[in-house]
Amino acid sequence: MSQRTRAVRASLFGFLVGGAAGVTVGLLLAPDEGRQLRRRAAYLLDRWAGDLAAVVDRLDRDGASSDARARADALVADARQQAEDLLSEADALISQARLGRSGDGA
């Protein structure tokens, strides 16, 4: 594996991990309603998916091999799945927080 491929892979991985951590912290700390949080998270997910697709396209234009393209596509699919998992976890946390809040007032 060439150094460029490793650098691209490391950059994409860092982007995904940082994005996932940012979304998680943002969802946990944001004072917004759950519906608005989900809308914002969906928007960010679409935006990040678009950014990743642009990187994949740039790699394709730069003469990257079809093997690299397949790995990048798999990485994008994995990122989407992780983001969807984060959204599900955020929904569960929001539900728990609402139940806890309604239970405190009783």
Number of domains in the chain: 1
| DSSP-assigned states of every residue in 13-26 | HHHHHHHHHHHHHH
User: 78 is in which domain, residue-wise?
Assistant: 32-101
Which one is predicted more confidently, 105 or 39? 39
* Residue 24: inside a domain: no
* Residue 2: inside a domain: no
* Residue 49: inside a domain: yes
pLDDT cut 90: percent of the chain above it? 0
* Residue 8: inside a domain: no
* Residue 10: inside a domain: no
* Residue 20: inside a domain: no
Each residue's pLDDT tens digit, 40-92: 777 888 888 888 888 877 776 766 566 777 777 888 888 888 888 888 888 88
* Residue 68: inside a domain: yes
d(CA 94, CA 13): 28
